[in-house]
Chain A
Amino acid sequence: MSLWEYANPKKFMQTSGAVLPWVAGLAAICLGTGLIWGFFFTPDDYRQGSTVRIIYLHVPAAMMAINAWAMMLVASLIWLIRRHHVSALAARAAAPVGLTFTLIALATGALWGAPMWGTWWEWDPRLTSFLILALFYLGYIALWQAVENPDTAADLTSILCMVGSVFAVLSRYAVNFWNQGLHQGASLSLDQRENISNVFWLPLVISIAGFVALFVTLVLLRTRTEIRARRLSALIARERLA
C-alpha cells in the first residue's frame, strides 16, 4: 500500500466524517416530516381510498432503486478510468442499499396492487423490469463477495455493472414491447404524476428528498466501513508478514 493510495481515502474519511451528521440529520428531518405528514395529515384519495398513503414509500423507493444503480455505474466508470479506490468501494457500498429500495418498491407495489388491481402481481412492464433489476443487484453483490482479491473484484464488478446497465435497459424495452404486443388487457399505469393533486404532492416531494438523503447517509456510512475494512485487512496482512 503506497502513500498515494492511502492519501485519497484519508481525505475522504475526513470530509465524509464532517458531512455525515448533516446528511443524516437532513434525512431524519425530511423523512420525519414527509412520512408523518403523508401518513397522518393527508386526505384519502377519492378513488384509491387510504391506499394512496403507500405512495410516500413506493415512489421514492422506486426512484432511488434506479438512481442507486446509476450511481454505481458512475462510480464504476470512475474506478475503471481513474483508479480511485474510494469510488469502487462506494459502488460496493451502494449495492445493498439499492437492493433494499428495490425490494421495498416491489413489496409496497404488490401490497398496493392487491386491493387496487385485484392481484398481487401482474407481469406489467414496470413490475417485471424491477424484478429483473433486483436480480442484477443480487448478481452484482454475489460477484463482489465471490472474488477474493479486492482490486480484481472491483474491476470485475465494474465491468459487470457496465454490461448489466446496457442489458437492464434492453430488458426494460423488451418487456415493454412484449406487453404492448399481446397482453393488451394489462393497461396499468403506475405513473400518477399526471393526476396527482397538490395535497399529495408536497409530502411526496419531501419524502423523496428524505430518501435521497437517507441513501447518501447509508452509502457514506458503508463506504467508510469498507475503507476501514480494507485498511484492516492490509494491517492484518502486514502483521502476518512480520
Chain B
Amino acid sequence: MIALLIRDLKLAFRSGGGFGLGLAFFLLVAVLVPLGVGPQGGTLARIAPGILWIGALLACLLSLDRIFALDFEDGTLEILIPSPLPLEGAVAVKALAHWLTTGLPLAVAAPVLAVLLHLPASGLPWLVASLAIGTPALSMIGAFGAALTVGVKRGGLLLSLLVLPLYVPSLIFGAEVVRRGAEGMAVGTPLAFLAAITLGSAASLPFAAAAALRMSLRQG
C-alpha cells in the first residue's frame, strides 16, 4: 500500500503534470479574476472566498483523469484487481496521492493568493483549514468520477460534467467557512459539515469507485 503511494507520488512528480500544473492554474485564476473584475479592494475581498474555492476546485479537476488513465493504458490496473491489496484500498491510496500532489499544495499556497485578493487576515487561517479539510473530498469524489469514465475514450469533458455537480456541497460549505471566518463570525457549523463530507466520502466512495473500476475493466 505504501509502496503504491510512493510509486504514485513519484510518477506525479516525474511527469510534472498534476503537481506543477494544478498550482500554476490556481495562481492564474487568482491573478486573472482581479484583471476581469477590476482592482477595487472591497469587491475583491467579498468574492475572494468563492474565487479561491472555485480555483481550487478547477485545479483539482485538471489532474483527475490522470488518476487512473495512465495505469489503465499500461495495464497496471488489471494487475491491481487480483492482487492481495484490495482494490478499494488501492483506490483510496490513489486518491490520497492525488490529494498530496494537488490539494495539499493548494492549501499551502492559498494564503499568498488570498493576500492578492485582499482577503482580510482573519480569514486566512480558515482558508487554509477549509482547503485542508475540504480538498480530500474533492480528490476522493474525483477518483470516483475517474473510475466511472476510465474506459471512455476522451472522457475528460464527461468527467467534469459528472464530477462538478458532486462538488457542490463541498464548495458551498468551504466558501462559507472562509466567508464567515473573514467576517469574524463563528465557523463551527460549516466546518463540521465540510469535515463530515470529507470523512463520509473517504469512508464510502472507495467502495463505489472500486466497483465502478471492476465494471469498467470487465468488458475487456
Contacts and interface: CB of A to CB of B under 8 A. Distances in A.
Interface of A: 132, 135-136, 138-139, 142-143, 146-147, 149, 151-152, 155-156, 159-160, 162-164, 167-168, 170-171, 174-175, 177-178, 181-182
A139 B205 CA distance: 18
Contacts of A143: 148-149, 158, 162
A152 B218 contact: yes
Contacts of B176: 177-178, 181
Given A139-B161, A159-B212, A181-B176, A174 B152 contact: no
Given A147-B151, A147-B152, 19 more contacts: A132-B168, A139-B162, A142-B162, A143-B158, A146-B155, A151-B219, A152-B151, A155-B211, A159-B211, A162-B208, A163-B144, A164-B165, A167-B169, A168-B165, A171-B172, A177-B172, A178-B172, A181-B190, A182-B179
A140 to B, nearest CB: 9
A175 B168 CA distance: 9
Interface of B: 144, 148-149, 151-152, 155, 158, 161-162, 164-166, 168-169, 172-173, 176, 179-180, 189-190, 193, 197, 205, 208, 211-212, 215-216, 218-219
Contact of A174 (B161, B169, B180): B169
Given A132-B165, A142-B158, A167-B165, A152 B197 contact: no
A139 B165 contact: yes
Given A167-B165, A174-B168, A156 B193 contact: no
25 contacts: A135-B161, A135-B165, A136-B165, A139-B158, A142-B161, A143-B158, A146-B158, A147-B151, A152-B215, A152-B219, A155-B211, A155-B215, A156-B148, A159-B148, A159-B212, A159-B215, A163-B205, A163-B208, A164-B166, A167-B165, A171-B168, A174-B169, A177-B172, A177-B190, A181-B180
B162 to A, nearest CB: 4
A143 B144 CA distance: 13
Contact of A175 (B144, B148, B172, B215): B172
A46 to B, nearest CB: 37
B169 A146 contact: no
Contacts of A149: 219
A171 B173 CA distance: 10
Nearest to B189: A177
Nearest to B220: A149
Nearest to B163: A139
Contacts of B144: 163
Nearest to B175: A178
Nearest to B212: A159
B216 A174 contact: no
Contacts of B193: 174, 177
Contacts of B152: 146-147
Name the residue among B149, B180, B219 with the largest chain A CB count within 10 angstroms.
B219
Contacts of A163: 144, 166, 205, 208
A170 B148 contact: no
Given A177-B193, A181-B176, A156 B169 contact: no
A174 B170 CA distance: 9
Pairs A-B, 5 closest by C-beta atoms: A155-B215, A174-B169, A135-B165, A149-B219, A170-B169
B161 A167 contact: no
A163 B210 CA distance: 13
Contacts of B219: 149, 151-152
